[in-house]
A and B are shown apart, each in its own frame.
Chain A
Amino acid sequence: DTGVSQDPRHKITKRGQNVTFRCDPISEHNRLYWYRQTLGQGPEFLTYFQNEAQLEKSRLLSDRFSAERPKGSFSTLEIQRTEQGDSAMYLCASSSLVGGSPLHFGNGTRLTVT
């Protein structure tokens, strides 16, 4: 079990640029989640996949955000035209299909938009 892997660990970008993050879940996990966390807050749900299907996307999520999970393996989260308010820790987590299985988080990608 190699755990959930996220890349990059840190990203600094200028406002208006596009950024893309990658997540590799635990290999036997079918569900993959993206969360965003700002200082002093708990993780906020963004979207989740079951295999390659994106089953839900938060209504709070701007159209500038898009996520994919081709072939049901790794996932990417893209933010277009970044804004300073996008600065946060982006967390990827995976879980198995067994009912009630917990989320296992990766190390996160810290995004700073200047």
Chain B
Amino acid sequence: QKEVEQNSGPLSVPEGAIASLNCTYSDRGSQSFFWYRQYSGKSPELIMSIYSNGDKEDGRFTAQLNKASQYVSLLIRDSQPSDSATYLCAVGDGRFNKFYFGSGTKLNVKP
């Protein structure tokens, strides 16, 4: 069973702070990595994709990947109350075109 692990939270940060979300995965053959944001009662929305080791920045979001440690993270700079949501880590199995999701980390950004 391929696993994706996330702390369920909640992670509480003050407005304007950096939120750091972490994810580990079990399958070393994983080739693609994604972060989704999910507001309560809504469907997941893709916010970041990363495929190679290192950092990838997009606006206030930075995804970090370390394949040797099987670790993916998401940093949210200048956190806003509108960032309050559950963040899902997803890992793609390139061979079988399947995607495995963690259970998500709930982020609360306090004004």
Which residue of B44, B51, B96 is within 8 Å of A100 (Cβ)? B51
Q: Is the CB of A100 within 8 A of B92?
A: yes
In the assembled complex, A33 has its CB within 8 A of some CB on chain B: yes
Interface size class of chain A, counting residues whose CB lies under 8 Å from the partner chain: 20 to 34
Total B residues in contact with A, Cβ cutoff 8 Å: 26
Please give the distance in Å from A77's CB to the nearest CB on chain B. Answer: 15
Q: Is the CB of A43 within 8 A of B88?
A: yes
CB contacts (< 8 Å) of B104 on chain A: these are 40-42
Interface 1/0s, chain B 85-99, versus A by CB < 8 A? 000101010101111
Query: What residue of chain A has the Cβ atom nearest to residue B103's Cβ?
Result: A42
Classify the secondary structure of A's interface with B.
strand
A56 CA to B99 CA, complexed, in Å: 12
In the assembled complex, A91 has its CB within 8 A of some CB on chain B: yes
A33 CA to B45 CA, complexed, in Å: 15
Q: Which of A11-19, A63-71, A80-88, A103-111 contacts B (4 or more CB under 8 A)?
A: A103-111
A-B interface contact total, Cβ < 8 Å: 61
Q: Is the CB of B99 within 8 A of A40?
A: no
Q: Is the CB of A108 within 8 A of B94?
A: no
In the assembled complex, A50 has its CB within 8 A of some CB on chain B: yes
A24 CA to B88 CA, complexed, in Å: 23
What are 19 A-B pairs with beta-carbon distances under 8 A? A31-B97, A33-B99, A40-B103, A41-B103, A41-B104, A42-B102, A43-B44, A45-B98, A45-B100, A56-B96, A89-B43, A91-B44, A95-B97, A100-B31, A102-B90, A103-B34, A104-B46, A105-B36, A105-B45
Known: A43-B101, A44-B101. 4 other contacts (CB 8 A): A42-B102, A100-B31, A102-B34, A102-B46
Residues of B near any A CB (own CB < 8 A): 4, 8, 31-32, 34, 36, 42-46, 49, 51, 88, 90, 92, 94, 96-104
